[in-house]
């Protein structure tokens, strides 16, 4: 099951805390994207997550949950993506919340469905950077070193380069991609049209398109064809 992420080139990330109408959801799910990732950094609850899952399940596209708090964990997703922030000094975001989750719910965790992600958060203005105390002031070599820790020391299957809300430095993403051996490199942040999608797709394995879905769906849909 975990192998399903390997060929992904394109993912739409949908936030349960934001409105999306049925027509828009149909266009997204039928767009040819490889997967829908459900997640967000705030306002995500059991109720809004279960509602979005049920609506996405009308379509055949794989649907995975990116867990950012325990309240949002709903059974029935294809996979559960578990972020571990590489570039923070606050160990709660590396292993702390995870240890608590396993201590409390270990008996019911479907381990074969969990996919850990080594997050490298690089946009200092994003909610997620502020929430996790991410050390975003890294050059390409420093960011690539975190990627190698995730890939070569921790054997994480995904390195997620996160510029949530702004289009990042593609030289840094390229350097990260070149420096990992086994992990798949996901890139997310500021992809809003075919051009930004193609630029990012050239330097990573999988692009993730989030806010653009809500800001300009027509342009967001063009990102699929741009990378296929």
Ligand X SMILES: CC(C)=CCC/C(C)=C/CC/C(C)=C/CC/C(C)=C/CC/C(C)=C/CC/C(C)=C/CC/C(C)=C/COP(=O)(O)OP(=O)(O)O
Binding site for ligand X (CB under 6 A): 15, 39-41, 66-70, 73, 75, 80, 82-83, 85, 93, 97-98, 101-102, 105, 108-110, 119, 126-128, 132, 162, 164-165, 210
Q: If contact means CB under 5 to 8 A according to the sort of partner, which of ligand X, ligand 1GP, Mg ion, none does residue 191 touch?
A: ligand 1GP
Distance CA 83, CA 104 (A): 18
Distance CA 116, CA 186 (A): 12
**Torsions phi, psi for 102 (to 5 deg):** -70, -40
Q: Does the annotation flag 163 for ligand binding?
A: yes
Contact 168/126 with Cβ under 8 angstroms? Answer: no
Q: Does the annotation flag 41 for ligand binding?
A: yes
Q: Can you spell out the DSSP letters for 78-104? A: SEEEEEEESSBS-GGGTTHHHHHHHHH
188: contact with ligand 1GP by CB under 6 A = yes
Q: If contact means CB under 5 to 8 A according to the sort of partner, which of Mg ion, ligand X, ligand 1GP, none does residue 32 touch?
A: none
For ligand 1GP, give the closer residue by CB, 44 or 74.
44
Contact 52/59 with Cβ under 8 angstroms? Answer: no
Of 5, 10, 12, 13, the residue at the interface with ligand 1GP (CB under 6 A) is 13
Of 39, 83, 157, 210, the residue at the interface with Mg ion (CB under 5 A) is 210
Q: Does the annotation flag 165 for ligand binding?
A: yes
Q: Does the annotation flag 211 for ligand binding?
A: yes
Distance CA 158, CA 151 (A): 8
**Torsions phi, psi for 187 (to 5 deg):** -125, 130
Distance CA 160, CA 117 (A): 6
Binding-site annotation, residues for sn-glycerol 1-phosphate: 13, 160-165, 190, 210-211
Binding-site annotation, residues for Mg(2+): 15, 41
Binding residues (CB under 6 A) for ligand 1GP: these are 13, 162, 164-165, 188-191, 208-212
């Amino acid at each position: 099951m975990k192998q399903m992420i390997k060929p992904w080139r394109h993912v739409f990330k949908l936030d349960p805390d934001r409105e999306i109408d049925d027509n828009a959801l149909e266009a997204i799910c039928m767009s040819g994207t490889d997967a829908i990732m459900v997640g967000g950094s705030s306002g995500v609850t059991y109720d809004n997550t279960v509602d979005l899952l049920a609506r996405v399940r009308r379509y055949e596209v794989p649907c995975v949950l990116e867990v950012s708090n325990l309240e949002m964990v709903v059974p029935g997703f294809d996979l559960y993506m578990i972020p571990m922030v590489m570039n923070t000094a606050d160990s709660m975001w590396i292993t702390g919340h995870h240890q608590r989750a396993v201590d409390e719910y270990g008996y019911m965790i479907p381990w074969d469905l969990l996919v850990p992600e080594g997050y490298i958060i690089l946009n200092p203005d994003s909610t997620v950077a502020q929430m996790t105390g991410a050390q975003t002031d890294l050059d390409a070599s420093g960011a690539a070193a975190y990627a190698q820790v995730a890939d070569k020391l921790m054997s994480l299957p995904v390195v997620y380069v996160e510029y949530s809300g702004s289009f990042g430095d593609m030289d840094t993403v390229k350097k990260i991609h070149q420096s990992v051996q086994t992990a798949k490199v996901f890139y997310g942040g500021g992809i809003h049209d075919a051009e930004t999608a193609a630029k990012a797709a050239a330097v990573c394995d999988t692009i993730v398109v989030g806010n653009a879905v809500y800001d300009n769906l027509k342009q967001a849909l063009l990102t699929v064809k741009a990378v296929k």
